[in-house]
Structure 1
């Protein structure tokens, strides 16, 4: 199974960020999407569904225990209506972090984009 990397677009404290292009969605079960070196508590996903007549489901996969002690709560599935954009997150490490420190995401279609936004730590 192929894995598509979804890089972080870092939000900047007290500043701005131009709209990132995002990564084209890939469809499960033949492909997954991965955020390497994820920081779930500072991660928000921006998912755009560019289809003109079909909703899509985005699945943030539960991690493995350990390290994800709350993985038993299961996957998070969010429906993105056709022609819309949804922001999903932030997330709990205890539910979604994978043993290799990544987060895994699945989509049922390729009609859209996903952007992983990383929220900065502010003091």
Structure 2
């Protein structure tokens, strides 16, 4: 399976035959650097779209202190439109990364995990699923 961890930075890895695959140099599966379309449609890296640091940056740009994102992965409170926009952008980028990775290896599954409340992760996974199937 392909595994994405969304924390301060987006990253992850590839698990083959029950083991994390690092390749001959240990750099295989560095998913954060995977090229994906950014919100503006221009190529960027997954890390620059799906990282929680990008959500914090968006909150701070609106004058909202985003530091509370790092105090607990269980509760972020009501974030509002910035969270909705981050989920939409991150989901598109993750969907693109999943489809691209699956074009190289026929993965049985894609796992999305991270430092976020369960409800946020559920919304993100649902949005990724919609982006892939819709």
Same fold (TM over 0.5): no
Q: Which has the higher strand share?
A: 1
Bigger RCO of structures 1 and 2 (CA < 8 A, at least 6 apart)? 1
Q: TM-score, normalised by structure 1?
A: 0.33
Q: TM-score, normalised by structure 2?
A: 0.31
